């Protein structure tokens, strides 16, 4: 029986990612990648980043781990990994050269680094823009890598003994597993060296994201664990809200993506409690579907793939070439990302080669 709450939580989280990128693009907290804010004063709308960043990507990895367990129960590992490669690796490699080079152009413009293109051949410019267009696709690149790791890990638990043992965890042990969440954050390079791969490691965080992914596979894929969470959704949401309030109240104004910030116990407590609370809430209250939910379940991956072109291009053009007030830029960009992204996805999925290269979809 399909678990609609997982589908619903996944697409809702993707929509949160879209909204996060609107706020992030204009933040003035020093977060890498945005175009910058509107002066040095406080931008209270940036609180959205502090609310969402500690948990929404780990939550997507947890859900991916759960889904991997269910898929591998139905299909041979070889077939599953082949499908993962088409869905994840193709869009994040070939798709860069088909579509995301446009994102790379605007990423370079945002960074005011267009001089990198001076004096080099057009083919090299195109390759640089394609690589620079990776953007949010880091998520599916890491997910493909973790899918490969999972196949190796499964060989150590051929008889599912460890998986069965994990299913016995009660709510206390589930909460205490937040220690693993914190330990994962300690793998970040606290003082990244310039001109090294440290910054890239801190962006991709493969060791950190491996923990929620494997917890999704071994722990949260159990029906019994999901039921235990669903019974305590109100206390979990309350605890997460308290932890988040303290975190934001004491740290607002800092770069909330820095390794020092991400490694703090309070950030990890809030992030872990929110992951648990969101799963518990959706299990208890949103285990149903509708025509809209069914559409979002099918299209949320595609929206994630294409949305950043809307953010980067329109966000850049408004900031650099208009005199619109800041509130208008936020409103226009929010409306655009939630309307143009589905339109762009619907167009791309109807173009045969592009559908495969950019979205990882086979012919309908």
d(CA 68, CA 110): 37
**Please, are residues 328 and 39 in contact by the beta-carbon 8 Å criterion?**
no
Tens of pLDDT, residue by residue over 51-84, are 999 999 999 999 999 999 999 999 999 999 999 9
Instruction: Identify which of 53, 13, 69, 11 has the alpha carbon closest to the alpha carbon of residue 213.
Output: 69
Token code pair at residue 230: 């669903």
Question: Rounded to 5 degrees, what are φ and ψ at 291?
Answer: -55, -40
Per the model's pLDDT, the better-predicted residue between 109 and 301 turns out to be 301
Instruction: Identify which of 221, 240, 213, 239 has the alpha carbon closest to the alpha carbon of residue 283.
Output: 221
**Please, are residues 154 and 77 in contact by the beta-carbon 8 Å criterion?**
yes
> How many C-beta atoms surround the C-beta of residue 86 within 10 A?
15
d(CA 89, CA 95): 9
SS3 percent helix, strand, coil of the chain, rounded to 5, is 75, 0, 25
Q: Is the pLDDT of residue 11 over 90?
A: yes
Q: Judge whether 229 lies within some domain.
A: no
DSSP, residue by residue, 257-314? TSHHHHTSHHHHHHHHHHHHHHHHHHHHH-----HHHHHHHHHHHHHHHHHHHHHHHH
Q: Label residue 12 by pLDDT band (50, 70, 90).
A: very high
Confidence (pLDDT) at 194: 79
Q: Which of 221-225, 318-322, 360-364 has the lowest mean pLDDT?
A: 360-364
Contacts of 313 (CB under 8 A, 6+ apart): 102, 106
Q: Label residue 193 by pLDDT band (50, 70, 90).
A: confident
**Please, are residues 181 and 272 in contact by the beta-carbon 8 Å criterion?**
yes
Confidence (pLDDT) at 307: 98
Burial class (CB in 10 A: 0-12, 13-18, 19+), 45: middle
Q: Judge whether 339 lies within some domain.
A: yes
Tens of pLDDT, residue by residue over 37-55, are 998 888 999 999 999 999 9
**Please, are residues 306 and 345 in contact by the beta-carbon 8 Å criterion?**
yes
Confidence (pLDDT) at 338: 98
Token code pair at residue 259: 């390794």
Q: Judge whether 352 lies within some domain.
A: yes
Q: Judge whether 180 lies within some domain.
A: no
Q: What is the CA radius of gyration of the chain?
A: 20
CB half-sphere exposure, 95, CA atoms < 13 A: 31
Domain that residue 364 falls in: 1-52+289-364
Q: Is the pLDDT of residue 32 over 90?
A: no
Tens of pLDDT, residue by residue over 121-166, are 888 889 989 999 999 999 999 999 999 999 999 999 999 999 999 9
Mean pLDDT of 308-317: 97
Local structure of residue 65 (DSSP, 8 states): H
CA distances to 121, 122, 134, 326 from 127, rounded to whole Å, are 10, 9, 12, 34
> How many C-beta atoms surround the C-beta of residue 187 within 10 A?
16
Name all contacts of 195-204 with Cβ < 8 Å and 24+ positions apart: 202/259, 203/138, 204/138, 204/141, 204/142
d(CA 87, CA 58): 20
d(CA 179, CA 172): 12
CA distances to 184, 219, 274 from 243, rounded to whole Å, are 19, 24, 9
Token code pair at residue 120: 């080099």
Confidence (pLDDT) at 197: 84
Question: Rounded to 5 degrees, what are φ and ψ at 126?
Answer: -60, -45
Tens of pLDDT, residue by residue over 95-129, are 999 999 999 999 888 876 555 666 788 888 899 89
Q: Judge whether 334 lies within some domain.
A: yes
Is residue 252 left, alpha or beta, with left meaning phi > 0 and alpha meaning psi from -120 to 50? beta
Number of structural domains, the chain? Answer: 1
């Amino acid at each position: 029986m399909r678990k609609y709450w997982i589908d619903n939580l996944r697409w809702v989280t993707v929509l949160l990612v879209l909204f996060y990128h609107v706020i992030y693009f204009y933040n003035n907290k020093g977060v890498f990648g945005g175009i910058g804010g509107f002066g040095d004063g406080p931008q209270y709308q940036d609180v959205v980043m502090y609310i969402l960043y500690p948990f929404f990507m780990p939550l997507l990895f947890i859900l991916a781990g759960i889904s991997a367990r269910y898929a591998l129960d139905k299909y041979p590992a070889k077939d599953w990994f082949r499908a993962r490669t088409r869905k994840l690796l193709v869009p994040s490699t070939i798709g860069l050269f088909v579509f995301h080079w446009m994102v790379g152009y605007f990423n370079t413009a945002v960074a005011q680094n267009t001089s990198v293109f001076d004096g080099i051949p057009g083919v090299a410019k195109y390759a640089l823009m394609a690589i620079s267009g990776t953007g949010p696709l880091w998520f599916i690149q890491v997910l493909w890598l973790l899918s490969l790791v999972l196949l190796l890990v499964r060989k150590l638990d051929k008889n599912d003994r460890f998986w069965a043992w994990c299913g016995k965890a009660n709510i206390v042990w589930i909460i205490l597993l937040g220690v693993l969440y914190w330990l994962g954050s300690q793998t970040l390079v606290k003082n990244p060296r310039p001109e090294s791969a440290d910054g890239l490691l801190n962006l991709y965080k493969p060791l950190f994201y491996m923990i929620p992914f494997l917890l999704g596979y071994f722990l949260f894929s159990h029906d019994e664990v999901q039921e235990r969470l669903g019974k305590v959704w109100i206390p979990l949401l309350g605890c997460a809200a308290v932890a988040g309030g303290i975190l934001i109240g004491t740290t607002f104004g800092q770069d909330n993506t820095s390794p020092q910030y991400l490694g703090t116990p309070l950030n990890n407590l809030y992030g872990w409690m929110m992951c648990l609370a969101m799963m518990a809430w959706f299990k208890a209250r949103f285990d149903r579907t509708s025509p809209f939910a069914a559409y979002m379940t099918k299209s949320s991956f595609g929206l994630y793939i294409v949305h950043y072109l809307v953010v980067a291009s329109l966000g850049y053009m408004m900031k650099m070439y208009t005199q619109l007030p800041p509130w208008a830029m936020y409103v226009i960009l929010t409306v655009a990302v939630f309307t143009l992204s589905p339109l762009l996805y619907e167009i791309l999925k109807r173009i045969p080669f592009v559908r495969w290269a950019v979205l990882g979809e086979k012919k309908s």
